Amino acid sequence: MTSGNEAPASVWFEDDDDLATLVSTARLPDGGELRLMRRDEYFAIMYGREQLMSSWDSGSEEALARLVCERLALRDARLLIGGLGMGFTLAAALRAASPEATILVAELVPEVVDWAMGPLAHIFDGSLDDPRVTLDICDVHDVIIRNPGAFDGILLDVDNGPDGLLDLANDRLYCNWGLRAAYAALRPGGILGIWSAYRDDAFFDRLVKAGFEVDEQDIEAGDYPKAHCHLIWFARKPGRAADEPAAR
pLDDT, average across residues 183-209: 94
What is the longest distance spanned by two Cα atoms in the chain?
Answer: 65
For residue 165, the Cα-to-chain-centroid distance in whole angstroms is: 15
Same domain, 48 and 65: no
In a 3-state reduction of DSSP, which class is residue 14?
coil
pLDDT, average across residues 14-30: 81
The per-residue pLDDT for 50 is 84
Give me the residues paired with residue 54 across strands.
Answer: 44
Same domain, 133 and 24: no
In a domain, 248, yes or no: no
pLDDT digits (tens, 9 = 90+) for 134-175: 999 999 999 999 999 999 999 998 877 787 655 556 678 899
Same domain, 41 and 67: no
The per-residue pLDDT for 246 is 38
Same domain, 48 and 63: no
The per-residue pLDDT for 170 is 66
Q: Assign 229 a pLDDT band (cuts: 50, 70, 90).
A: confident
Same domain, 41 and 104: no
Q: What is the number of residues in the chain?
A: 248
The per-residue pLDDT for 2 is 39
Same domain, 28 and 81: no
| Domain count for the chain | 2
Q: Which domain holds residue 220?
A: 59-236
- Global pTM value: 0.88
**For residue 50, what are the contacts with CB-CB under 8 A and spacing of at least 6?**
160, 165
| pLDDT above 50: residue 3 | no
Same domain, 46 and 122: no
The strand pair at 78-82 and 151-156 is best described as: parallel
CA dihedral 60, 230, 227, 53 (to 10 degrees): 60
